[in-house]
Amino acid sequence: MAALPNASHSITLRLHLEVADLGAVGRVTTAIGEHGGAVVAVEAVETSGDRQMVDVTANGRDDEHTTRLQEAVDALEGVHLDRVSDRTFELHREGKLAVTPTVPLRTRDDLSMAYTPGVARVCRTIADHPDQARALTIKGNTVAIVSDGSAVLGLGGIGPVAALPVMEGKAALFKRFAGIDAWPVCIEATTVDDIVRVVEAIAPTYGGINLEDISAPRCFEVERRLKESLDIPVFHDDQHGTAIVVLAALLNALRLVDKPIGEVTVAMSGAGAAGVAVAQLLLHEGVHDIVVADSRGILGPGRDGLEGGKAWLAEEANPSGRDGTLKDALVGADVFIGVSAPGLLEPEDLATMAEDAVVFPLANPDPEVDPIGAGRYAAVVATGRSDYPNQINNVLAFPGVFRGALDAGARGITREMEVAAAHALAEVISPEELSPTAIIPGAFDERVAPAVAEAVRAVAAADAAR
Amino acid sequence: MAALPNASHSITLRLHLEVADLGAVGRVTTAIGEHGGAVVAVEAVETSGDRQMVDVTANGRDDEHTTRLQEAVDALEGVHLDRVSDRTFELHREGKLAVTPTVPLRTRDDLSMAYTPGVARVCRTIADHPDQARALTIKGNTVAIVSDGSAVLGLGGIGPVAALPVMEGKAALFKRFAGIDAWPVCIEATTVDDIVRVVEAIAPTYGGINLEDISAPRCFEVERRLKESLDIPVFHDDQHGTAIVVLAALLNALRLVDKPIGEVTVAMSGAGAAGVAVAQLLLHEGVHDIVVADSRGILGPGRDGLEGGKAWLAEEANPSGRDGTLKDALVGADVFIGVSAPGLLEPEDLATMAEDAVVFPLANPDPEVDPIGAGRYAAVVATGRSDYPNQINNVLAFPGVFRGALDAGARGITREMEVAAAHALAEVISPEELSPTAIIPGAFDERVAPAVAEAVRAVAAADAAR
C-alpha cells in the first residue's frame, strides 16, 4: 500500500526567480507533480528589481521523498532554491502551548488581590475546606497528561523529553475539543512504583489524570494502583479511549449488518494496552466469544506461562478454548479488530470470515490489512487513518469523557461511564447518516464532545445520587 | 499600626433602592466612610419599575471589618442588601491560569502536523538530539513553580492544594513580567528525599525550576541536591529572589547615605530561608560584619547546638563573635534588615544605630517595626508592603532572572548571576530619581525585567564562553 503525499511530510521551498521568466512557477509545480509530490500552496513573497521571491509548499510521502522533491526543484534552470523549511517542524517550534493569566495584572490593587496579601484568604479557605479547591483554583478544569515516554506512538521507549511534543499536542486537543486546561507531565520514572509515587505526588494540582503512552504490562498496574489511591479520575487513554471508540464504531457497524452484539464472534489481533481494554469493554457489553491472538498466536489453553492481561484473555474471553494462529481465529468470525502491527494479513485471509464481516484493522499508520483490499471481503471497514473513511480516533472520546467527569466532580471513571460514552458517540450518527463509510463521526464533528460529556456526566450524577 | 482599607479585603454589595429615594446612594457611601471603609466604586446596574439595583464596592481592613461595613449598610432605612460578593474570591474563581494551544487545529492537515502522524518526526528528532527539545517544545520557555505547601506566605504548612492559589498567582506574574510560561507543581511530598525525587522526575518538561514556599531548613538541602542533579536552573525564590532585591535596595540606600558597602555593619532579624540567603549574598558582595538574630537572640559563640544555616551564620557572618539580643545587635549598626516576624521592635529601639541608618523591616504584611515611626530614626526605610514607599518585592527579580537564564540556555543560576541581577535592578533607578523614598523601582516599572534579564544573560554567556 503506497502512502499518499500528506501534510505530515510537507516542505516550503523559498525560491528566487527572474521576474521576466513567466514560466518559472509552472516549471517548479510541474516538476513537483512529476516527482509524485502534491503542491498545496504558491505565494509570491516580494519582488526586488528583476528578481522575485516565491514560496512553494508541497506535500511528500516521507522524508526521503520530500528530499527528492527539493532536489528536483533545485535542479531546474532559472530557479534558485534559497532555503527549505519543514512545515511540521516550523509548527512545533517553541512548543504548542502557552500558559496565560485569566486575571488582570495592571494595577497594585490587581496584584494585591491575585497575589499577596489577598491570596492568603483564598488559601486559608481551601486549607479549611479542601473541597473548595475545585471552585477557587485551576484544579476544577485541569488534567495532567502523564507519560514516561515508554510506548510513544509507533516509536517505542523514546523517553520523557522526546515524548513531550505528543503530550503538548494532546493538551492542545483537550482545549480545542472540550475547553479543558491540560498540561504535559513527562516524567523520568521507570518502575511501576516510581510512576505511581510521582503521579500521586503531583495530583493535588489536577482534577484528572490522563495516562498516555505507558508501555504494557506496566500500564495496567499503574492505572489500577492510581485509581485506588487518588480521589480524581484516572484514565489510561491508550486503553479506554480506544475501547470506547471501537465499541461505538462496532455498535453502528452491527446495526448496519443487522447482527445483535450478544451473538457475534470477534477475532482480535493484539493483546497490549488497547487489546486488553477493547476485549474487556466488549465482554462487558455482552459479547461472549472473543478470540485474541498476539504475535505468537491465539491466547488459549495451548499457551503456557501467560500472565496478567493475556492470561485473563485466554481464560475469560475465549470460552470455547480455541488455539492456533490469527488466521485460525478469523474462521467464521463476524468481527476482526486489529490493535497490533502493520501488514499481518492479506485481504484474502478475510475470506474465511462470516458473511457481512466487520473489519477494523487499527494499527497506525499502517493497518494489519490493506483497507481497500479488505473492502472486497467485508461489509464495513474502519482504520486508524485519517485518509480513509471511518477513522477510529481517540479524540472522539477523551475530551468528552474528561469534560463530563470534571463537570460532575467525579472521583473516578467507571466502566459504566465508558459504555455510556461509547453509546453516546455511536448515536451521534443518525439513522439517516449511517452507512458503511459513515459508522463513526469525524474528528471535527462538533456534536461529539458535548454528547459524550453529557453521557458521562449523567452516569456520574446517578452514581453520586446512589 | 492600624491597617488601611485595601483591595485584598474588598466587597461588592448589591443593593435594591427606591428610584425616587435620591439620597439613598449618599446614605450608603456615607455609612461606609463613617465605619472606616473606603468606597472604590458605585455602579447603577439596572432599573425596573420604581426600584433600582446598584453595586457598591468598598475596601475594608480585614474580614471582620468588611462584615461590619456590610452590616452597617444593611441596617440603613430604604436600602435592601440583596447579596455580597468578595472581590478577591470572585477573582480567584475557577483559577487564574489557562493553557492555550499556540497552533491552529482547524483542519485534518492541522491535526496531522500537530499530532499524529506528523508529530512522530519531531519526537524522533528529539530522541536523537535531546538538546533540540528547547527549540521544538515548550521546554525552552517553561518554568515549574514547585511547592510542597509547607511555608506558604505567613500561613505556614497549609499543604499543596491550599498553596495552589499562590503558585497560580506566581505563574501569572511570570507571564505578565517576563513572557514565561510557568506552571504550578504543588506536590504531596514531605521528606527532602521525596521532594527531590519528584522534582527530578518532572524536570524533563521544564527549562527551569522555581522552588517556592518550602520550609527551612529542608529548602536548603532540596535546592542543593537539585542544583547538583539537574541540568536546568533551580532557584529557590524565597531565598535568592529576596536576597537580590534586598541587595539592590541596599546598594542604592548606601549610595544615598554615602557609605561604602565594605565598611557597613549589618544587624539582621531572621535566620530562615530569606535570612540565610540575604546574609550570604551580602557577604559575597563584600559586607564583613553581619550579626543575625533569630527568635532566641544573636547567632554567636554563646549559642549551643546550632546547625546548618544558623551554624554557618554564627561562624562566618559574625566576625567579632557578638552575643545577646536583637537589640544588642542594633547598637552601632549601619543597616537593619528584618526577614522575621511582626512588631519585634519599637521605633525607639533604632536610636542606638549609627547615624544615617538604613532600616528594612520586611516582615509582611506587618513589619518588624512601624515604618513611619522608624523614619524618625533612619535615613532610609523600606518594607515588603505595597502601601509604603520602597517595596522590596520579589517580582522585581524572579521574572528577569529566569528570562535571562532561559534565553541563555543556562544550566544553573550562579551567585554571580544573582549579584549581576541585583546591580542591574539597582541601576534602573537613575541618579536623578534616587531619593530616600525611591531606592527601588515599583513592581510595574517596565524597565526592570529586561534589565535584570540582560544582566543574567550576559553572565551566563560569559560562563559558557569560558
Q: What is the dihedral of CA B169, B171, B177, B181, to 10 degrees?
A: -160
Q: Do A99 and B123 lie within an 8 Å CB cutoff?
A: no
Angular region, A86: left φ>0, alpha ψ -120 to 50, beta rest: beta
- pLDDT at residue number A465: 85
**All cell numbers assigned to A359:** 473489519
Judged by a CB distance cut-off of 8 A, whether residue B95 touches chain A is yes
Report CB contact under 8 Å: A159, B88. no
Q: Which of B139, B170, B259, B310 is catalytic?
A: B170
B58 touches chain A (CB under 8 A): no
Residue A224: burial class (beta carbons within 10 Å; 0-12, 13-18, 19+): middle
Provide the strand spans (E) within B198-306. 208-211, 234-236, 265-269, 289-294, 297-298
Contact with chain A for residue B192, Cβ under 8 A:
no
Which of A385-389, B65-69, B199-203 is least confident? Answer: A385-389
Q: How far apart are CA B124 and CA A184, in angstroms?
A: 18
Judging contacts by C-beta atoms under 8 Å, the chain B residues touching residue A88 are: 113, 118-119, 121-122
Is B320 exposed, middle or buried, given 0-12, 13-18 or 19+ CB atoms closer than 10 A?
Answer: exposed
Query: Using CA atoms, how far apart are residues A452 and A417, in angstroms rounded to an integer?
Result: 9
> Taking CB atoms and an 8 Å cutoff, what residues of chain B touch A202?
185-187, 198, 202
Q: Rounded to an integer, what distance in angstroms lies between the CA atom of residue A36 and that of residue A2? A: 11
Nearest chain B residue to A196, by CA: B198
Q: Do A120 and B205 touch (CB under 8 A)?
A: no
Please list every residue in chain B whose beta carbon sits closer than 8 Å to the beta carbon of residue A116. Answer: 153, 166, 169, 364-365
- Which one of B92, B127, B386 has the shortest CB-CB distance to A122? B92
Bridge partners (DSSP) of residue A58 are A11, A39
Contact criterion met (CB < 8 Å) for A171 and B99? yes
Supply the pLDDT for residue A2.
55
What is the phi-psi region of residue A232: left when phi exceeds 0, alpha when psi lies from -120 to 50, beta otherwise?
Answer: beta
Q: Does B4 touch chain A (CB under 8 A)?
A: no
B161 and A126 in contact by Cβ < 8 A? yes
Q: Write down the residue that cell numbers 505595597 correspond to.
A: B386
Cell 519543514 belongs to which residue? A86
The tens place of each residue's pLDDT in chain A, 466 residues long, gives: 457 888 889 999 999 999 999 999 999 999 999 999 999 999 999 998 999 999 999 999 998 999 999 999 999 999 999 999 999 999 999 999 999 999 999 998 899 899 988 899 999 999 999 999 999 999 999 999 999 999 998 789 999 999 999 999 999 999 999 999 999 999 999 999 999 999 999 999 999 999 999 999 999 999 999 999 999 999 999 999 999 999 999 999 999 999 999 999 999 999 999 999 999 999 999 999 999 999 999 999 989 889 888 998 998 899 999 999 999 999 999 999 999 999 999 999 999 999 999 999 999 888 999 999 999 999 999 999 888 999 999 999 999 999 999 999 999 999 999 999 999 999 999 999 999 999 999 999 999 999 999 999 999 999 988 8
Residue A123 to residue B158, Cβ atoms within 8 A: yes
The chain B residue lying nearest A167, using CA atoms, is: B115
Q: Nearest CA of chain A to the CA of B186: how many Å?
A: 6
Q: Check whether B430 has a pLDDT greater than 80.
A: yes
Q: Which residues of A are catalytic?
A: 115, 170
Residues of B in contact with A142 (CB under 8 A): 95, 99
List CB contacts (< 8 A) between A100 and chain B: 97-100, 175
CB pairs A-B closer than 8 Å: 355
A2 class by beta-carbon count within 10 Å (0-12 exposed, 13-18 middle, 19+ buried): exposed
Model-level pTM? 0.94
A6, A100, A186 member nearest B98 (Cβ)? A100
